Amino acid sequence: MTVIAVLAEPPRPGLVLSELAETSPLSESEAAELYAAMLKDVCIAVERSGGDLLVNYRAEDDIPDGFAGDHESEAEVRSVVADALGGTDDARFEPQVGSTFSARAGNTVSHLLNEEEVHSVAVVRPVAPLLGRTHIDSAAMKLRSTPVVLGPSTEGRVYFSGFLDPIDFTDAYAEPEVETLAERADDAGHGLDYVPMLPVLETGADLATVVPMLRSRVESERLVPEHTTTFVFEKGLRVESTDGVLELVRD
């Protein structure tokens, strides 16, 4: 069984998806709302898969000054997950440990593999709304025999990184993530495999990529991430061509 660690932050304006708010028609509050929607969809995908859901939340004392919330970080993240899954009985919650994303991911993976002796661990962030059960289960199958499995995304990013054996996680997610992680796998003498590319959603350009994909899936009556798709339609987001230039607009 693969443990899927979702590294999540409380959906607070300015704390999450700040670049998206700067580069799209969305405000900081709306970007935080979208983050919560994607977190729900990712947790639903994990819950429907054959993996075990571990929600690795950003601890309150690790959140930068100026982003305090009305509730503790754990309570905020639990509330979002509970809303998605109808409760939290099937999810495990643990605080992140480490000063950087690489350190936090590495500490989680190393602890689970070395201390709890789980079979395999995968790290995902709640910014890949099109991540589905089949992607997770396909990666888990590959992790039965391949030490490292990556889900590449645009601009050298990854939406999924799975490990059967540890690597050196020091700055392992330095950009371009997919190349750096591959180098670390090779340094450790580990075989490497991939699952299909999926978009992540962190910037206005990313949103312009994802919105037409979601609208296309709705048109063709295909499976969609419910909460993210609802957000897109409620906000009237669409991509239009003006003089041959594609632009993200709102109704």
pLDDT value at residue 236: 97
Rounded to an integer, the average pLDDT of 146-174 is 97
How many Å apart are CA 209 and CA 212, to the nearest integer? 6
pLDDT value at residue 244: 77
**What share of the chain has pLDDT > 70, as a percent?**
100
Instruction: Tell me the one-letter amino acid at 186.
Output: D
Write out the CATH class of domain 2-202: alpha beta
Quickly count: other Cβ atoms within 10 Å of residue 40's Cβ: 23
What pTM was computed for the model? 0.96
Task: Give tens-digit pLDDT for 80-107.
Answer: 999 999 999 989 999 999 999 999 999 9
Task: Give tens-digit pLDDT for 3-14.
Answer: 999 999 999 999
Q: Which has the closest alpha carbon to 37: 26, 25, 51, 52?
A: 26
**What share of the chain has pLDDT > 90, as a percent?**
92
The SS3 assignment for 73 reads: helix
pLDDT value at residue 142: 97
CB proximity list for 134: less than 8 A, separation 6 or greater: none
pLDDT value at residue 251: 86
Q: Note whether 195 and 142 are within 8 A (CB).
A: yes
* Pairing of β 2-8 and β 52-57: parallel
The SS3 assignment for 191 reads: coil
Dihedral pair phi/psi, residue 3, rounded to 5°: -85, 125
pLDDT value at residue 130: 97
With cut-offs at 50, 70 and 90, classify the pLDDT of residue 235. Answer: very high
The ranges assigned to domains in the chain are: 2-202
